[in-house]
Amino acid sequence: MKITRIAAYQVTLTVPSVYKLSGGRLFETLDSTIVSIQTDSGLTGWGEACPFGVFYGPAHGHGVRAGVAELGPRLIGANPMRVERINDFMDDVLPGLNYVKSALDMACWDILGKALGQPVCELMGGRSDHDLWIAASVSTGTPEEVVANVQRFRDIGYRCFSVKVGGEDPSLDVARVQAVMKARRPNEEYILDANRGWSLEAALRFASLLGAADAWIEQPCKTYRECLSFKRRTGLPLSLDEILTGPDVLLQALADDAVDAANLKTTKVGGPTKMRRMRDICHEAGISMSIQETGGSDIAFAAICHIAQSTNAALCRHIWDPRELAAETLAHGAPVVEGGKARASDRPGLGIDVVMEALGDPVAVYE
């Protein structure tokens, strides 16, 4: 099988109500890139890459499309079913910049599944029969607003909450967390996610004020050095997210005993292939995972469900539904969320039917 045509589409996703992270970071829209790969077999695969705005991590929508412009013409004629070889090639042609490769890699997995008549989860190790619990991404605000945001998700069945902290005043963050913990129910899980918003000093002050709280702290500071220092000086359970941009960083964090839980996101790490490698490294290391995306629509959600559904149930703590922050429907057939949980599709490939009218005209075509 050979790739004959690659098209890139740009879609501006609407965040239904303004989403807030620490440091005044507001999200009203997200810039998503959808990629289709056509083949000489008649099969077409779809992928999506959607960085979380421009100030979440080292990635942005224009960058995705610039990367596809470099890689797209060079992939014409390649066999998309050889996903590891496609990744080797992309890493040779364009070293680093994993996020620009994610949509292309995802589309190759869609083709592989369609060609073999198997859902992607079966090809990533085999379906594991567990519900995929969705972590609610709880927008920051006053303690009362955060408690109300948690309750809004609890009312529709969620039991995992990523509570956003990382503000300038650690005591206000502690007040947010204590207000939420006061209303905590049995079987609920909490991640205190600073989204790299704290200085090391602020993170240490937060930790000393927090006291005993059954929760992970996620990505307290900007750099790996600061996060490592935080871990060594507090001993608190630490999840890494923004700085886990590929398998190399994960391996270093494991070598330094700096990570207890990993937040893996498809766009951030470079697509399902690298996500699978990181998933398997975490599995061997006994590190629990949250399998997520930085943003996106039904296409991205379908992909993370397949990766999570093929992950050891005991280590797959939760996933995330990026459609919380996307009003548009770009595909039908993505898993339905009911009671705060979902399951990957049984259909071949990603199991989705893209809504062509929602994409508009391609912004670039390579053939």
Length of the chain equals 367
Site string for Mg ion, 107-126 (x = CB under 5 A): --------------------
Does 241 contact Mg ion by CB under 5 A? yes
Between 24 and 42, whose beta carbon lies closer to Mg ion? 24
Secondary structure (3-state) at 262: strand
Residue closer to Mg ion by CB (options 48, 193) is 193
- Residue among 101, 114, 231, 265 flagged as catalytic: 265
Is residue 182 annotated as part of the catalytic site, yes or no? no
Name residue, tokens 């999506």: 48
Phi, psi dihedral angles at 293 (to 5 degrees): -135, 160
Q: Which stretch binds Mg ion (CB under 5 A): 12-20, 257-265, 303-311, 358-366?
A: 257-265
Q: What is the DSSP string of 62-126?
A: HHHHHHHHHHHHHHTTS-TT-HHHHHHHHHHHS-S-GGGGHHHHHHHHHHHHHHHT-BHHHHTT-
Scanning 114-122, 188-196, 264-272, 342-350 for contacts with Mg ion by CB under 5 A, the matching segment is 188-196
- Name the catalytic one among 101, 114, 164, 231: 164
Q: Which stretch binds Mg ion (CB under 5 A): 35-43, 103-111, 178-186, 218-226?
A: 218-226
User: Least distance (Å) from Mg ion to the CB of residue 243?
Assistant: 11
Which of 48, 105, 122, 193 is the binder for Mg ion (CB under 5 A)? Answer: 193
For Mg ion, the closer of residues 103 and 217 by Cβ is 217
Spatial CA neighbour of 83 closest among 260, 273, 255, 364: 273
Q: Which residue is nearest to Mg ion (CB)?
A: 241
CB nearer to Mg ion: give 110 or 218.
218
Residue 108 or 177 having the CB closest to Mg ion: 177
Q: Cβ atoms within 10 A of the Cβ of 234, count?
A: 17
How many residues lie near Mg ion (CB under 5 A)? Answer: 4
- To Mg ion, the closest distance from the beta carbon of 241 in angstroms equals 4
For the residues of 123-149, what is the DSSP string, one character each?
HTT------EEBEEEE---SHHHHHHH
CB neighbour list of residue 182: distance below 8 Å, 6 or more residues apart: none
Q: What residues contact 185, with CB distance under 8 A and at least 6 apart? A: 154, 159
Name the residue with tokens 């049995």: 186
- The residues carrying an active-site annotation are 164, 265
Contact footprint for Mg ion (CB under 5 A) = 193, 218, 241, 263
